[in-house]
Amino acid sequence: MKLFNYSSIVLSVLLPVAITLVGCSDPQKEATRTLNDKGYELEVRDLLVAAGAGDSESITLFKEAGFDIDTPDEKLNTALIRASGSGHTTTVEKLLGMGADPRHVNEQGRNALIVASAKGHEAVARVLMSRGAETEASDIEGWSALSIAAYNGHENLVSLLSSHASSADLDDALLVASFTGDSAVIQTLLSQGANINARSPESRTPLMIASEGGHLSAVRTLLQNQANPFAVDNDQSTAVILAEEAGHPEVKEFILNPDAWGQSEEGTQVSEEMKMARTALIEKSAVEETLTASAPATVAATSAPAATSAPSSSSTAPPLEQPVTEAPLREKSQKVREEAKDKPIVALNGSRISSTDPKIAPVKSMVLAAYHEEPLPVVVENVDGKTANIRMMNATSEGGIEVSKGATIPGTNYEVKEVTRKFVSSKEGKGRMVDVSRVEIEDKITGNSHLLVKDVSGQTSDSYAILTSADSKYRYVVKAGDVFRTATVQSGETDYQVLDIRPSGVVIKNLKSEEVTTVARDGVINP
């Protein structure tokens, strides 16, 4: 009969328990030992190395060892920023679950979303956006996640970010994409609502930028989508001139040959919309309608958004829920624009828009559905008395043409209806008198009238806009100077006048209260 050693049995049972209890009493030390065994020190440098390598297991150990996972290095990079830039989606999810701050910015002012977008990491961007990343934040050089993705040609990521972008950000991204000439990115931005004739600080359009860069494919895409080939920048240079000066004769010749441009499906739709709008303007098809509450009433009635302060670099973990942003507002206005595409176009001038529902405000429910420039191949160079010197923008030779009232501009269907010499005092010029002499011309075939103004950059087009609302059964085409009337149960009848048409919005004045508002793409902006 075998004899058992009682003390050894007790020791063999209790020793593992004791070890477990010791381990449970100091898990931080155990995690630190495990990290050391893996070659890591409990330092921010090694935390970022693990994040950059996608080592999620070690990230967990750093957390268990009591290390703050939002601790930045000397360049203010955090583990989340490093993992995002390396494209490690699982590690990014792990860090966010631990409370990592997606709003933290490094010394360049870049958050994790901007870093991920620069590298084209779409899956990472989706995770960050779902956990509160600020899509409209910009770094110290002005790069947002969208603009940097557009510059680097990440088409799918551009599509994702565009759906959360403001109208201004879409325009900026289009200008940036035109520098690199990625036609796929350009088309994506245009389909999301970017303004094809957006202007840079130098008053250059995407077409001008792409032409100067010699990006023929991008130039073709822009022209197919109704870019204005005659627009001029602050130096009175057109896309043709910029292409020629930059040494791209093939781009110059392409722009001067409209038969070579071809058509795109989107461009054809824009062209058809422009034709319907012109017809409504010519026929002056004013209407009367009463808005009903069959759709969500007010799309947007908000103050102009205040400038967003820089995201905090604090290591304090933010709430994980999505913060309140303008995204829902943009989504509503985008839906309104999409649903309005099949509505008939009528003239806003002379129309009367009523509402019997106090929740519906006719003007404040409007959004800018479209902005169009009707390209004109002429620009006013000078006005002297009753004659004007005009420049043909589709001609390769320099020099102007002298015209007077009643003359037909050579090579066009335009007849000069009026020549007016005028100067005004400029606030921007500190009292300097500015030449705003003007020439009114009329297309003898269509009957369309156009006003060309001296010293106003880009006046090689006639601009008009299309407004709509969720409650309206029409799209309203509008030009500067138009007057229309509204009637509500709260304020009675009110007349409004359109003061200005801009790519960013239509400026409207309440003639009763003299209040001025802007109907923008994302809704009404009050001053």
Q: For 223-290, give the DSSP string.
A: HHTT--TT---TTS--HHHHHHHTT-HHHHHHHT-GGGT---HHHHHHHHHHHHHHHHHHHT---EEE
Distance CA 238, CA 220 (A): 16
Structure tokens given for 257:
């040959």
* pLDDT for 454: 73
Nearest to 60 by CA among 39, 85, 34: 34
pLDDT of residue 86: 97
Task: Determine the pLDDT at residue 300.
Answer: 41
pLDDT of residue 24: 44
**Per-residue pLDDT, 350:** 95
Structure tokens at 71: 């601790």
Q: What is the pLDDT of residue 431?
A: 61
Check the CA dihedral 112-118-124-129 and report its sign. positive
Report the C-alpha gap between 495 and 511 in whole angstroms.
6
Mean pLDDT per block of 10 residues along the chain (527 residues) reads 44 42 66 94 96 96 95 97 97 97 96 98 97 93 96 96 90 96 96 91 94 97 93 88 95 93 89 91 92 54 35 36 48 84 95 89 90 82 86 68 90 88 64 76 80 60 86 93 92 93 90 93 78
Residue 461's pLDDT is 62
- State the fold for domain 28-267: 1.25.40
- Measured over the CA atoms of residue 439, residue 444, residue 450 and residue 452, the dihedral's sign is negative
Q: What is the pLDDT of residue 397?
A: 53
User: In which residue ranges of the chain is CATH 1.25.40.20 found?
Assistant: 28-267
pLDDT of residue 273: 92
